[in-house]
Chain A
Amino acid sequence: MRILHQRAAFIVANTAAILSALYIGLAADLERPYWAVFSTFIVAAPIAGAVRSKAVWRLAGTVIGAAAALLIVPPLVHSPPLLCLAMAGWVALCLGLSLLDRTPRSYVLMLSGYTATIVGLAVVDVPLAIFDTAVARVEEISVGIICGALAHSIFFPRTVAVELNEKTATAIRMCAGWISQTLREPTAELQTMAASRRLTQLLADLSTLHTHIAFDLSDVPRIGKHLLVLRERLMALLPAMTNAQLAIDRLRASGGPNAPLNALLADTVRWTDQIAAAADVLDGGGSAPSRAAPLDAAAGESVRWPLLLEQTATHQVQELIAVLEDCRTLARAIRDGGGPLPPHLETQVSSARRLPLYRDYTLALLSAGAAAVAVVVACILWIWGSWPEGAIAAQFAAIGCSFFATLDRPSKMLTATLYAVLLALPVAAFYQFAVLPRIEGFVALALVLVPILLLFSFLQAIPKLTGAALILAISFFGGLAFQKMYQADFAAFLNINLAEIAGVLIAIAINLVFRTIDPTWNALRLSRAAWRTMDRLTQSGSPTAGTHSQLVDCLSQVAMREELVDAARRDQVRSDTLRGLRVGANLVTLNSVERDCGPTFAAPLEAVRRSIGSIFSAWARQRSTPTEDLIGSSLDTSIRTVTALPPSAARMKALAGLVALRIDLAPHSAFQDLQETTA
């Protein structure tokens, strides 16, 4: 029922926005009122903050693109080949940079790329008109997006807060479920990968919502920083989970956990199950299992491997509990719009900043190249084919290549776009040649358009059909293209729309050639990028949090594509990915406690870092890795140094990190028990 209300509200707001944009467009005598109309469709979203942020970015992108056209076209208008190359270059540059950004903000750059083609290529016959055309596009788009932003803020607005609270609750419920599952079945790598896929999706959603918070209605509390910390904690959960999983697995293989650890495991499983099943995931579920300090092997005491394993496993389960508790505290603060936090979270929240995502230069370069080639191909057809509407084909080739450039297979969505265009055209033709000739005045126009507006808005309100509805709406209004004076020119209608279709076809062909990426190759490529990032993580002094965020992001990209990798390689990719997540998290832990562990720890830790770095740079270059004994002995030296330190929280963390690294990187070399070496 609530969903129905939301959709009805969206439809009302959207229809109001479109009719007002159309009215203003016609009344102000704009050149192409339909541009205002489909700008409204483009910014429309169920959340007010999303509409407003997209409105701002669309305005900025349009202004930049129009300005670029003003700079590019006049000097080059007399040499069309150079103009085409310059346009293709601009589109490619903007698209490439926008793909490196990977936040919703990237829309600004993508849009400025193809707006330049829309403004610039339309006026090559009349270069004097370029300034007026640029101003007209900016005006039309401004009218559309301002109407959209206003209507979606005034008519039953839905703020980001509701969506955000739903998403955080879902995230915590799922994480609680995974923790319980991980502790019960420590060998289930498959479920961990599935969990990582869901978590990656959730993290991406939360990141998108984060960008909308600052743009939402004024009464929405600005809790962006809380959300950043929550996101960072959720991100830490996956490595923590797979670390705990492995330690418990090894412990079970070598005789099983002792009684206190077993009790802790049972308590944690019960607690997380309660949270996952609770009606109110943030407050329900009872209190967390007590996190008593793990039995510390006292300094100088004999240190045996099973004991180390047990301490590590205990510490890691406690870490999981702590992270989940932090997540719930933060989610409560987000729900209540701020409020007091425990000191360790308070300091993090006040210094929170957006962590960088992995930058995929290869993909950006490929997509940018594809867009440039598509524009050039369309321009060749246009110039050498003496095809008057070729400019429109070039514009649509640029739009098509830009719009779906983030996808793994853009050609698939482009084909769907083609079908949507073909579906919308007959309807547009019906309106253009059967309905519009019989009506006069804005009221009549509004009345005949309302059914189709309601239909498109209704489709757009259904999450799965949003994209399809948008394309239908754009091609319908693009096909209709009503001017102030009604012109029923069937030849022009056909020519323009055929050029649009040709542009999309060119985009499909070019994307099939350039952007059909073998998923296995892609996963291996991303893995190698991750190992290079890991290598950077081992160079002490590099800013750890940002690099780690890039590593996790990159490995999450691999995890997202894991199911597409061919069966022979899939197991390898899966275990490598999980291992990468674990090693990265443990390196970060070690870096963070380095100072607290005192000067004696620095040299052995440096040796550990160097040997891990050599492993991952060998992986990245696909060379043979150094022997296990090398890394094993450097880790053992560090473990001995740490066990000699007086007991402290930092010591426990360092010990757990080192033992976990040893399990991962030197599983076969036997640990020298310390009785004889310390003597």
Chain B
Amino acid sequence: MIGESSIAGVFFPPLLMLAIGAFLVTLGLRWLLRRLHLYRFVWHAGLFDTALFVVVLWLMSAATTQVGFSGSAIS
């Protein structure tokens, strides 16, 4: 099962793991931005958050393919 993460014997596609991770990171970023009152400068928060999630996901996937995370198994 190359390219899949195994948790307790169940295989998960790496993109799913990354997406969950990216969502959690985005939650943190959104909290931070809100604390700093930066949403005043955002025109459309829903669109902004979606874009933020996509950017974080892309960054994370770029970073993990560089270090070869997607081939490893977490068990």
Contact surface of A with B, Cβ cutoff 8 Å:
48, 150, 153-154, 157, 217-220, 222
Task: From A154, A157, A219, A222, name the one whose CB has the most chain B CB atoms within 10 angstroms.
Answer: A219
Minimum CB–CB distance from A148 to chain B (whole Å) comes to: 13
Interface contact A150-B45, CB-CB below 8 Å: no
Residues of A within 8 A of B48 (CB): 218
A218 and B50 within 8 A (CB): no
CA A217 to CA B44, docked complex, whole Å: 9
A-B contact pairs, 15 of them (CB 8 A): A153-B47, A153-B50, A154-B44, A154-B47, A154-B50, A157-B46, A217-B45, A217-B46, A217-B49, A218-B30, A218-B33, A218-B39, A219-B34, A219-B42, A220-B45
- Among B40, B44, B45, B50, chain A packs the most CB atoms within 10 A around the CB of B45
CB distance from A223 to the nearest CB of B (A): 12
Q: Which of B34, B39, B40, B46 contacts A48 (CB 8 A)?
A: B46
Shortest CB distance B58–A (Å):
17
- Distance in angstroms from A42 CB to nearest chain B CB is 20
Q: Which residues of B contact A153 (CB under 8 A)?
A: 46-47, 49-50
Name B12-65 residues within 8 Å CB distance of A.
30, 33-34, 39-40, 42, 44-50
Q: Identify 15 new A-B residue pairs, CB closer than 8 A, beyond the known A153-B47, A218-B33, A222-B34.
A: A48-B46, A150-B50, A153-B46, A154-B47, A154-B50, A157-B46, A217-B45, A218-B30, A218-B34, A218-B39, A218-B45, A218-B48, A219-B34, A219-B45, A220-B45
A150 to chain B, nearest CB (A): 6
Interface centre among A48, A157, A218, A220 (most CB of B within 10 A): A218
Interchain nearest-CB distance for A323 vs B (Å): 31
| Complex Cα spacing A551 to B73, Å | 55
CA distance A48 to B49 in the complex (A): 13
- With an 8 Å Cβ cutoff, the count of chain B residues facing the other chain is 13
Q: How far is the CA of A222 from the CA of B33 in the complex (A)?
A: 13
How far apart are the CA atoms of A601 and B47 in the complex, in Å? 61
**Bound form: Cα–Cα A220–B46 in Å:** 11
The residue on A at minimum CB distance from B34 is A218
In the bound assembly, the distance between CA atoms of A222 and B31 in angstroms comes to 10
CA distance A153 to B47 in the complex (A): 7
Nearest-Cβ distance from residue B40 to partner chain A, whole angstroms:
8
Contact partners of A217 in chain B: CB under 8 A: 45-46, 49
Chain B residue at minimum C-beta to C-beta distance from A52: B46
Chain B residues in 8 Å Cβ range of A218: 30, 33-34, 39, 42, 45, 48-49
Within the assembled complex, what's the spacing in Å between the Cα atoms of A222 and B45? 14
* Residue in A closest to B27 when the chains form the complex, CB atoms: A218
Determine the chain B residues whose CB is within 8 A of the CB of A48 once the complex forms. 46
CB-CB nearest 5 A-B residue pairs: A153-B46, A219-B45, A219-B39, A217-B45, A218-B45
Q: How far is the CA of A150 from the CA of B50 in the complex (A)?
A: 8
Complex: A153 Cα to B45 Cα, angstroms: 8
Chain B hits for A219, CB < 8 A = 34, 39-40, 42, 45
Evaluate contact between B34 and A154: CB separation under 8 angstroms.
no
Residue on B nearest A48 in the bound complex, by CB: B46
- With the chains together, A48 CA to B50 CA distance in Å? 14
Q: How far is the CA of A48 from the CA of B40 in the complex (A)?
A: 19
When distances are taken between beta carbons in the complex, the residues of chain B under 8 Å from A154 are: 44, 46-47, 50
Among B30, B40, B44, B46, which residue has the most Cβ atoms of chain A within 10 A?
Answer: B46
Alpha-carbon distance A157/B50, docked complex (angstroms)? 13
- Write the chain A residue with the least CB distance to B40: A219
Q: In the bound complex, how far is the Cα of B48 from the Cα of A48, in angstroms? A: 14
Chain B residues near A220 (CB-CB < 8 A): 45
Q: How far is the CA of A484 from the CA of B42 in the complex (A)?
A: 41
Given the complex, which residues of A lie within 8 Å of B46, measured CB to CB?
Answer: 48, 153-154, 157, 217
Bound complex: CA A219 to CA B31 (Å): 10
Residues of B within 8 A of A222 (CB): 34
Task: Name the CB-closest residue of B to A159.
Answer: B45
Note all chain A residues with C-beta closer than 8 A to B34.
Answer: 218-219, 222
Closest chain B residue to A153, Cβ basis: B46
**Shortest distance from the beta carbon of B57 to any chain A beta carbon, whole Å:** 13
Question: Chain A nearest CB: distance from B48 CB in Å?
Answer: 7
Q: How far is the CB of A59 from chain B (nearest CB, A)?
A: 12
- A150 to B48 alpha-carbon distance, docked (Å): 12
Closest beta carbon of chain A to B25's beta carbon, Å = 14
Residues of B within 8 A of A150 (CB): 50
**A154 vs B51: C-alpha distance when bound (angstroms):** 11
Distance, CA A154 to CA B34, complexed state (A): 19
Q: Name the distance in Å between A216's Cβ and chain B's nearest Cβ.
A: 9
CB distance from A361 to the nearest CB of B (A): 36
